[in-house]
Amino acid sequence: MLQPATPTGKPAARRRSTRLLGLALVLLTLALALPAGASAFVSSGGGGWFKQTSGTTAHLFAVAFPDAAHGWAVGFDWGTKAGAILATTDGGATWSTQTSGSSHSLQDIAFIDATHGWAVGGGILATTDGGATWSEQSSGAAVALIAVAFIDAAHGWAVGSRGVILATTDGGATWSKQSSGTTEDLNNVAFTDATHGWAVGDGGGILATTNGGGAWSEQSSGIKATLWGVAFTDATHGWAVGDYGVILATTNGGATWSEQSSRTTEWLTATAFSDAAHGWAVGMNGTILATTDGGATWGTQSARTSGWLTATAFSDAAHGWAVGAYGTIIATTDGGGPLVKARYKVTPPAVPSRVRAGVRIESRGTVKPRLTRGDRIVVFWEHYIGGRWDMVLARKPATSYRTTASSTRYSVRMVFKPGKWRVRATAGDHQPVTSAVRYFTAY
């Protein structure tokens, strides 16, 4: 069972690690346990991701590579009760520990070259010698900082709990607060230059600025799911990822965002793009998604781990890294290799067009070919409220056919409130196939 690091400072500083642990717990309640059998996936073979030796059991929450050789990963080490920092100068062939001097969990890290870097968590740390020495900077923030971004050695931004946004124009010698206009937690931030930036967070929130943060405005994401990661390759092309496999994309700087099909229900915690075509997203249960067409199509890559992946970084379209729990570091030198393709067909639960509100309804669906060990069914119920579809996950998405043999059928039970509803289902391990959608009314 995944146990992310919890810093020893203020309760606010524990937010990201404990919330992601909560997500992992919720995710486990959605998994349909099934008996032994062969995998339902086929791979085109060759290349891919491989494990690197981190030399630590610290939980890693962020990774940064300004080039293919120099990299850093940060997190929290329960053994030393300190913020963990790892560094490499050979692309991860060897990793060494750096002294953070912090008792707080480090949530994010940014490097603009091989020497200048910053890490945030309970505070802000900075280095000008590649991490040989780290010093604390005065943030003036009374809440936890969750993410940081720099575009050069002078200009940087940090975001965190309760909508806090900090900015610096002198490499962090001084930090000033910017007005975000929100009290929602901000989980990630990205800037393409000194003026254009975006921050994402709870409730599907997306903020944007075109003047370096002098003014931030809210953009419409169209969703309520929490967003954990954001990446932009220029001032117009960007992506955001979050709960329930959500991937959003924009080609006009966020004036409009559209949802892309991730074909997964896993929580996605980070995304990285090397250019407007090549991108990756990572998340729970060793999930790695990749695209070579800007997200028009996403496929799954084999992480060779089932652990929680919290962050990813690519120095170019070939060289990438992902980190996670218990010192996990994986890397690729060929863009992550081939995509793993699912071959399921799933039908959603057969629900009548009209059902009684407040009455438990049992309905069944099918999956082909037969389900085997490690595969699962997740059923999504959505209630039309306030002009939008609000997702409600069934507590027990599959309650029947837990037999010792494989099965092509599943069963769910649900009680509905009055109103319009729709239901869909997914089947599969790393790349689930989504069913059609059934609409019905509860009265």
Q: Based on the fold, state whether residues 272 and 338 are members of the same structural domain.
A: yes
- Quick check: 149 pLDDT over 70? yes
Rg of the chain on CA atoms, in Å: 22
**Is pLDDT larger for residue 143 or for residue 220?**
220
Nearest to 246 by CA among 304, 287, 196: 287
Q: Mean per-residue pLDDT for 60-89?
A: 96
The proportion of the chain whose per-residue pLDDT surpasses 90, expressed as a percent, equals 60
| Same domain flag for 86 and 222 | yes
pLDDT at residue 134 greater than cutoff 80: yes
Is residue 11 included in any domain, yes or no? no
What's the pLDDT band for 419 if we cut at 50, 70, 90?
Answer: very high
pLDDT at 293 over 80: yes
Query: Which pair of structure tokens corresponds to residue 433?
Result: 């196939």
CB 397 within 8 A of CB 411: no
Tell me: do 177 and 278 sit in the same domain.
yes
pLDDT beyond 90 at 294: yes
Strand partners of residue 442: 355, 419
Q: What is the phi/psi pair of residue 279, to 5°?
A: -145, 165
Measured distance CA(338)–CA(335) in Å, rounded: 9
Structure tokens at 401: 């056919």
- Residue 37 inside a domain? The answer is no
CATH number at residue 374: 2.60.40.10
Q: Are residues 85 and 109 in the same domain?
A: yes
* Residue 275, token pair as written in the block: 């250019």
Using one digit for the tens of pLDDT, what is the confidence trace for 219-234? 999 999 999 999 999 9
The pLDDT, as a whole number, for residue 370 is 60
pLDDT in tens, 103-129: 889 999 999 999 999 999 989 999 999
Average pLDDT value for residue range 192-197: 98
Instruction: Tell me whether residue 136 is in a domain.
Output: yes
- Shared-domain flag, residues 311 and 418: no
pLDDT at 50 over 70: yes
Q: What is the pLDDT of residue 387?
A: 83
**What pLDDT sits at residue 372?**
52
**Would 23 be classed as within a structural domain?**
no
**Which range of residues forms the domain containing residue 365?**
343-442
pLDDT cut 70: percent of the chain above it: 81
What are the tokens at 158?
A: 């940090």
Same domain? For 55 and 104 the reply is: yes
Q: b/e per residue, 210-243, with b = 16+ CB within 10 A?
A: eebbeebeebebebbbbbbbbbbbebebbbbbbb
Query: 385 in a domain, yes or no?
Result: yes
Non-local (6+) Cβ contacts of 22 within 8 A are none
Q: Which of 300, 320, 342 is the last residue of a domain?
A: 342
Residue 291 inside a domain? The answer is yes
Interval 321-343 mean pLDDT: 87
Residue 255 lies in a domain: yes
Both 311 and 406 in a single domain? no
Q: Which residue has the higher pLDDT, 378 or 94?
A: 94
| Structural domain total, the chain | 2
Average pLDDT over residues 57-66: 97
Q: Is residue 13 situated within a structural domain?
A: no
Q: What is the CATH number of the domain that holds 213?
A: 2.130.10.10
The verdict on 321 and 351 lying in the same domain is: no
Higher local confidence (pLDDT), 224 or 265: 224
Domain boundary among 342, 360, 381: 342
Do 104 and 172 reside in the same domain of the chain?
Answer: yes
Alpha-carbon dihedral sign for residues 329, 290, 292, 109 = negative
HSE value, Cβ hemisphere, 13 Å, CA-based, for 124: 31
Q: What rounded mean pLDDT belongs to the chain?
A: 83
Residues 257, 405 share a domain: no
Residue-wise pLDDT for 356-396, tens only, equals 998 988 888 887 766 554 456 777 788 888 888 877 755 44
Please give the average per-residue pLDDT across 284-291, as a whole number. 91
Same domain as 432, residue 409: yes
Are 163 and 178 a contacting pair, CB within 8 Å?
no
Rounded Cα–Cα distance for residues 51 and 324 (Å): 12
Last residue of a domain, one of 325, 342, 359: 342
What average pLDDT does the segment 187-206 reach?
A: 97
Provide CB contacts within 8 A for 303, sequence distance 6+. 49, 282, 286, 287, 288, 309, 322, 330
Asked if the model's pLDDT at residue 331 lies above 50, the reply is yes
Instruction: Indicate whether 195 and 323 sit together in one domain.
Output: yes
